[in-house]
Amino acid sequence: MSKKPSFIIYFKVAIILAVLYTFLVSIGLMGAGFKVFGKDFARALIETTNNPFVGLFIGIFSTALIQSSSTTTSMVVAFVASGTLTVNNAIPVVMGANIGTAVTCQLVALGHVTRRQEFRRAFAAGTIHDMFNLMTVVIFLPIELMTGFLSKSAHALTGALAGASGMEFKSPLKMITKPVCTAVVDGITALELSKILTGVIVVGLGVGLLIVCLILLTRLLKSLVLSKLERFFERSLGRSGVVAIMIGLVFTMIVQSSSVTTSLMIPMAAAGVMTLEQVFPVALGANLGTTITALLASLVTGRPEALTIALVHVLFNLSGILLFYPLAAMRRLPSGAARWLSRVAIKNRLFAVAFILVIFFVIPGLAILVS
C-alpha cells in the first residue's frame, strides 16, 4: 500500500520536470520568434538613438520585441565598443531594457486569466517587476541627465578595473533547450513562409506552450508540494530579503535570463506558495543578475567604453535596490501599485491585455514614430 503513493509522487515529479523543461523551451521559442522579425529592427532602432527619452522607449520597445534584456544590453555594449553609440546615449536604452524585459512576466500571468484568484496573485507578482523598474527609471533617469551620477561612477570604476579580461559563459539551461528550439524554428522555416509569418507562428507556438505549461504546473504544485514549498520558501526567502535577493541573483547569473527567474515565480505566486513580499526581492536579485551578460560581453571587447556602459547597468540596478528595499515604506510603493493594478485587472480582464500593449508597445512605438 505504501508503494502506490510513492509511485504517484515520483510520477508527478517527473511530469513537473517535463512541464518545467517545456516551459523553458516555450520561453526560448518566444524569444526566437521575436528575433525572426524583431532583432534587426531593434538593432536599427538602437543605432539611431539620440534623444534620451527616445532612447528609453527604444530600449523598452526593442526588449519587448525580442524578450531579452540581455540581448539588448549586449547589443548596446557592442555598439558602444564600436563607437556607434556614446555611453551617454546608451544609458537610457539600458534603462528601457530593464522595463521591457518585464513583458515576459505579464504574458506568463495571462496564463491564469481564467481563474480569478490565481490571476489576481499572478498579475500582482508579474506587475511588481514592472513597477519597480518604472519607478527606478523615473527617479534615476532625471538624476543621471542632471548630474551624470551613473556615468561618472561607472567611469571611475572602469579606471580601477582597466586591463580586466573576460571569459565566455554559456547557460546550462540554454544548452539543453536550444537544440529543441532550433529544431522547431528550422522545421517551421523549412516551410518557406514569409519572414513575418514564420515569426508569428513560432511566437504563437511558444505562447500556447507557455500557457498550457503554466496551467499544468500550477495544478501539480497545488496537489503535490504546496505545503512543502511553503515551508521551503519560509526558510529560504521569508526570513531574509537579502537571502532572497541572492537567490534571484545567483539563479539569474546561471541561466543568464532574468525573465526565466521572474517567470518561475509567477505560477508559485498564483498557487499561493509565494507572497508578493517574497517575490519582490527575488525579482530584484534577478535584475542585478542579468547584468552579468553585458559585463562579460564588455570584458571580451576590451574597450573601456563598453565596460563603462555595462557597469552603468550594474550600478543602476544596485541603486534601485538600495533605494527601494531597505525601508519598508519604500518597498510598499511598487508592491502597493502592483496590488492596485491586480485589483483593476480582475474586474476587467481586458485591462491586463491593454496594460501590456500600451506600456510595452503602443507608447514606446508612438514616441519613436513621432520623434
> And the C-alpha cell for 115?
481563474
pLDDT in tens, 136-166: 999 999 999 999 999 999 988 888 776 544 4
pLDDT of residue 2: 46
| Model confidence at 244: pLDDT above 80 | yes
Q: Could you give the CA distance from residue 28 to residue 183 in angstroms, rounded to a whole number?
A: 12
pLDDT of residue 18: 87
The number of domains in the chain is 1
Give the residue-averaged pLDDT of 119-146: 92
Give the residue-averaged pLDDT of 222-244: 62
pLDDT of residue 22: 84
| Model confidence at 171: pLDDT above 60 | no
pLDDT of residue 364: 86
Are 301 and 263 in contact by the 8 Å Cβ rule? The answer is: no
Range from 43-47, 77-81, 191-195, 300-304 carrying the lowest mean pLDDT: 43-47
Higher pLDDT, 302 or 180: 180
- Which domain does 337 fall in, by range? 3-370
pLDDT in tens, 356-368: 888 888 888 888 7
Beta carbons within 10 angstroms of residue 239's beta carbon: 11
AA letter at 79: F
DSSP of 157-222: HHHHTTT--------HHHHHHHHHHHHHHHHHHTT---HHHHHHHHHHHHHHHHHHHHHHHHHHHH
What's the residue count for the chain?
371
Confidence of residue 131 (pLDDT cuts 50, 70, 90): very high
> And the C-alpha cell for 185?
524554428
DSSP of 82-117: HTSS-HHHHHHHHHHHHHHTTHHHHHHHHTTTTSHH
pLDDT of residue 193: 82
Q: What pTM value is reported for the model?
A: 0.73
| Model confidence at 313: pLDDT above 90 | yes
| Model confidence at 346: pLDDT above 70 | yes
Confidence of residue 110 (pLDDT cuts 50, 70, 90): confident
Q: At what angle do helices 52-66 and 116-147 cross, to 10 degrees?
A: 150
